[in-house]
Amino acid sequence: MNDYKDIATPSRTKEILKKYGFSFKKSLGQNFLTEPNILRNIASTAELNETDRIIEIGPGIGALTEHLARSNGEVLAFEIDQRLIEVLDDTMSPYNNVTVVNEDVLKADVKQIAESVFQTEGSIKVVANLPYYITTPIMMHLLMSGLDVESMVVMMQKEVADRITAVPGTKAYGSLSIAVQYYMDADLAFIVPKTAFVPQPNVDSAIIKLQKRTTPLVDVVDEDFFFKLTRSAFTQRRKTLWNNLISYFGKDEATKEWLETSLNECNIDPKRRGETLSIIEFGELSNRLIANKK
């Protein structure tokens, strides 16, 4: 399989785009990588092998897909753009382990499709160059899909990667950091310069590796409530935790007493800002608020 020319060179990409008269749709956030070494590094970071079941989102013309296919694992790629299906039929023709589904991954029943496509038992790994404008919804959709995703190696805007991997007390830390780190251990793998893409985006990208935790980082009684609480704490970052909580839950005396009692029992100063609380502290506060609810 290595006899085939890499798709991700500027000349081959240009040749494929010209052959199919393809024009980029800005609305779909289409930026194609034209640097094979970066794609090799992405595949290497994912530590793929022939027993893996790999999910890709937005394969484009197949630049990353071919590197995933070369691992000999099964590859399932979701491509929203109907125009690219014909291109992928062509570029993926050397590989019999790739299935392309023409669906919007956010509307798809990913678990059901994966179960119908994958023929083997093995780890599920997500490896993808995510469209910038829907990076967060896609990641959360996959995490909540019911699929047993062992790891994700995903490319995204560097700023979003910084937010996902952020620690408490930093500007980048917020509800997104908590939502992802609750389920997965997050590490920044490497930076990808904007010059590696066609068309060139305005910002640099980053590859992050997310490894699923055996159990969530904190034991919470109600996950939905926990996530609502963390989102409420960051509604207005410059406000104190107290002001954000009463804005969200209510300013009547009974609600204030409920919040104050719970914060005191967790030894959390209401004057702190949300960004200073660890995920553990948010978990304890969430459980305490539920226990004290009348």
Whichever domain contains 259, its CATH number is 1.10.8.100
273 lies in some domain: yes
Residue 81 sits in the same domain as residue 199: yes
Q: Which two tokens stand for residue 242?
A: 């107290």
CATH (domain of 38): 3.40.50.150
> What's the pLDDT at 3?
52
> What's the pLDDT at 199?
80
Residue 158 sits in the same domain as residue 276: no
Residue 205 sits in the same domain as residue 265: no
Residue 274's domain comprises 223-292
Per-residue CA distances from 172 to 83, 100, 228, 239 (Å):
37, 35, 19, 16
1 lies in some domain: no
Residue 60 known to bind ligand: no
Residue 74 known to bind ligand: no
Say if CB 272 and CB 203 are below 8 A apart.
no
Residue 28 sits in the same domain as residue 81: yes
Residue 32 sits in the same domain as residue 99: yes
- pLDDT, one tens digit per residue, over 143-154 is 888 888 999 999
> What's the pLDDT at 33?
84
Residue 233 sits in the same domain as residue 124: no
> What's the pLDDT at 27?
63
> What's the pLDDT at 244?
97
Residue 237 sits in the same domain as residue 281: yes
> What's the pLDDT at 150?
94
Residue 129 known to bind ligand: yes
Q: Which residues of the chain have pLDDT under 50?
A: 1-2
Q: Which of 154, 177, 212 is the last residue of a domain?
A: 212
Say if CB 209 and CB 45 are below 8 A apart.
yes
162 lies in some domain: yes
Those residues whose C-beta lies under 8 Å from the C-beta of residue 155, and which sit 6 or more positions away, are: 42, 128, 129, 130, 192, 205, 206, 207
User: Tokens 């204030």 label which residue?
Assistant: 256
Q: Which of 212, 239, 258 is the last residue of a domain?
A: 212
> What's the pLDDT at 185?
95
> What's the pLDDT at 203?
86
217 lies in some domain: no
Per-residue CA distances from 77 to 137, 199, 266 (Å):
17, 22, 45
Say if CB 138 and CB 180 are below 8 A apart.
no
User: Tokens 């190696």 label which residue?
Assistant: 153
pTM for the full predicted model: 0.88
> What's the pLDDT at 41?
95
Residue 292 known to bind ligand: no
> What's the pLDDT at 1?
44
Residue 48 sits in the same domain as residue 79: yes
Domain count, the chain: 2
> What's the pLDDT at 10?
87
Residue 31 known to bind ligand: yes
Residue 97 known to bind ligand: no
> What's the pLDDT at 197?
83
155 lies in some domain: yes
Q: Which of 178, 212, 246 is the last residue of a domain?
A: 212
> What's the pLDDT at 160?
92
- pLDDT, one tens digit per residue, over 209-247 is 999 999 999 999 999 999 999 999 999 988 999 999 999
| Cβ count near 28 (within 10 Å) | 17
Residue 162 sits in the same domain as residue 270: no
